[in-house]
Chains A and B, each alone.
Chain A
């Protein structure tokens, strides 16, 4: 990967929520790139900020949350500079999202087809209802839903079918980037497997770039080209999938991978990471993982490491792989 085509550059993104207990930093100075045509897996425990990050990429953070810093360079444009109206036009047409729960993500009193035609026509107002319907029919055919079901209401469809409808909505305008937020969490394993196969096919066909947000390491292993690991609002590690699985560097990544149940697990008991994720209103000083880290040293509690490229294409946020002096200068400059 020498001449990588970057679709989305995220720089120093900060998302904060005003809560009763104080300001909660859900995403804390996160920077990474999404390459065109790749599937980037984003993993982490519940509450690590991965869903918030996904929403922030579409500038969909709702009150009491707010993006308080950073730049979002999508295909050469800083989305932070766009007006709300311009941003709205981008949503659904260039960046789209597949949600966690297909049961609740469709309007219960609206027919399936209206969801699709409405989405097409809000972005392409000149398209007639008839033409939009024809496109909707083609689309659902491709996704393996009988076009006769278009006039059904969401509650008349099965979970798997609804998730296909969600995909068809995300693809209706051939978005460049699809953000799948826990898209399989509510599906059973068989439907999940079908969903994965479908996503793999569509990826080739539609030349999709996918940000796959999930807590399932298995799903990432199945689909992703690269993996980003988040911990307590910060990036911990980002690398090529094979490299990350074979040589995880960050102590948190190592713990996370050891905690994945394995059907061939024989004598080893499943690893339990000690402690629990920190409170993001008053997070630990220095590296946020240090209270749970088996390899923490004195500096870890004093100063946060920086997220840097340790090896080409392998980013890491840990003192084990960072010279202290180098980081001091970086911290001072930022």
Chain B
């Protein structure tokens, strides 16, 4: 790694600190400014003043705002998001249980998005103005404008219930349990423990939800990749490569795509937030026990601390991913240095 690249990464990491601080403060403020008393919400009407007061005291809600804030920050630094109001277990414990399912779904969807979006876009650019190009373009707009849950329901009706090829809910068939939780992603755990039937079952359950989420996000990647590739394929170095006898395939997929990757990776990083939001809808449609399900369920339960912890976790995650994406640029494009 060159010194310039090291410096770039260091600067980018340092820049993340104030960003994270702002995020954390926003999450803290929003939940405290919003109307609704958590104590009243949990204990219901009719609870006595003493009950309410002791509930607030237990959660530290009776202290002045700035004291709460400092304690909150201290907690976040120790990765302690408080305990769940309804389950009496640490919020981090809840996240640990539900998050792996979301990661598994998100990664599988991202794979679908990446493969479908990038390759269809590159293919459309390479065969510009052909029937394939027009078909791909129309499909990409169509996919982009579909509501996620609608696509999910359609896939459930056709490939799921209709054809009976794929299960439409849950992560595993009844009776299947992972031998050992390592990452919490069942497909990965199954591979690590060498449990082949479990892997097949987990992957089989993963297919419809990840296609649903992946396809909806793929449309925008198709369009972005196509537009960028058209621009890049016009550039001198592509013509120069052609004049050296390089194959069209090499020019499009090696020289072209690598140059088009910078905006694509940016979007992929930004889309990750959208992916998490989409995951909530997809998880609800497919009864997928992930973070989306956790947040939705705890909102119904008025479990403020869990909701706050889950949102904070999402926020930190997005910050972390955008840092990762920026560092990735450094490797993708040798010209990016600050």
What class of interface size applies to chain A in its complex with B?
A: 20 to 34
Of B46-54, B70-78, B240-248, the one with at least 4 CB within 8 A of chain A:
B240-248
Q: Looking at A62, A106, A109, A155, which has the most chain B CB atoms within 10 Å of its CB? A: A109
Stretch at the interface among B104-112, B305-313, B330-338: B330-338
Chain A CB within 10 A, most for which of B240, B250, B259, B332: B240
Interface residues of B in 224-277 (CB under 8 A from A): 235-237, 239-247, 250, 255, 258-259
Q: Which residues of B contact A104 (CB under 8 A)?
A: 235-237
- For residue B242, which residue of chain A has the nearest CB? A60
Shortest A114–chain B CB gap in Å is 10
Give the B interface residue count (CB, 8 A).
Answer: 20
Q: Are B243 and A106 in contact (CB under 8 A)?
A: no
Neighbour of B258 across the interface among A109, A155, A156, CB < 8 A: A109
Other A-B pairs beyond A101-B236, A122-B244, 14, CB < 8 Å: A60-B239, A91-B245, A96-B243, A105-B237, A106-B237, A106-B240, A108-B237, A109-B332, A119-B245, A122-B245, A122-B246, A122-B250, A155-B335, A169-B240
Q: Are A153 and B334 in contact (CB under 8 A)?
A: yes
With contacts defined as CB atoms under 8 Å apart, how many contacts are there between chain A and chain B in the complex? 73
Contact, CB under 8 Å: B244 / A119: yes
Contact of B255 among A62, A92, A107 (CB under 8 A): A107
Given contacts A105-B236, A109-B259, contact A155 B334 (CB under 8 A): yes
* Chain A nearest Cβ from B219, distance in angstroms: 26
Q: Is A118 an interface residue (CB 8 A)?
A: yes
Q: Which residues of the partner chain B approach A118 to less than 8 Å between Cβ atoms?
A: 246, 250
At the interface, yes or no: A242 with Cβ under 8 Å from chain B?
A: no
Interface residues as binary, A146-172 with B (CB distance below 8 Å gives 1, 0 otherwise): 000000010110000000001001000
A92 near B258: Cβ-Cβ < 8 Å? no
**7 tightest A-B CB contacts, nearest first:** A92-B245, A92-B244, A104-B236, A91-B245, A105-B240, A97-B243, A153-B334
User: A92 to B250, alpha carbons, bound, how many Å?
Assistant: 15
Contact between B245 and A107, CB atoms less than 8 A apart: no
Contacts of B335 in A (CB 8 A): 108, 153, 155
Residue of A58, A92, A153 with most partner-chain B CB within 10 A: A92
Query: With a CB–CB cut-off of 8 A, which chain A residues contact B245?
Result: 88-93, 119, 122-123
Q: B86 → chain A, closest Cβ, in Å?
A: 52
* A107 adjacent to B243 (CB under 8 Å): no
Spell out A's residues near B (CB within 8 Å).
58, 60, 62, 88-93, 96-97, 99-101, 104-110, 118-119, 122-123, 153, 155-156, 166, 169
> Nearest Cβ in chain A — how far from B304, in angstroms?
48
Contacts of A60 in B (CB 8 A): 239, 242-243
> Bound state CA distance, A99 and B237, in angstroms?
9
In angstroms, Cα B245 to Cα A123, docked, is 8
Which of chain B's residues has its CB closest to A104's CB? B236
Q: Chain A residue with minimal CB distance to B259?
A: A109
Inter-chain contact B246/A99, CB cutoff 8 Å: no
Complex CA–CA separation, A100 to B240 (angstroms):
10
Point out the residues of chain B lying under 8 angstroms from A88, CB to CB.
245, 247
Q: How far is the CA of A139 from the CA of B59 in the complex (A)?
A: 73
* CB–CB B243/A92 < 8 A: yes
- Which residues of B are found within 8 Å of A101, using beta-carbon distances? 236
* Inter-chain contact B259/A119, CB cutoff 8 Å: no
In the complex, what residues of A have CB within 8 A of residue B237's CB?
A: 104-108
Sample (7) of A-B pairs whose CB atoms are under 8 Å apart: A58-B243, A62-B239, A92-B244, A99-B243, A100-B236, A119-B246, A153-B335
CA–CA, A97 and B334, complex, Å: 26
Cross-chain contact B259 with A107 (CB below 8 angstroms): yes
Contacts of A156 in B (CB 8 A): 334
Most buried by A among B235, B250, B333, B334: B334
Q: Which residues of B contact A90 (CB under 8 A)?
A: 245
| B318 CB → nearest A CB, Å | 27
CB distance from A80 to the nearest CB of B (A): 18
| Residues in B neighbouring A106, C-beta threshold 8 A | 237, 240
Which one, B239, B242, B244, B255, contacts A110 given CB within 8 A? Answer: B255
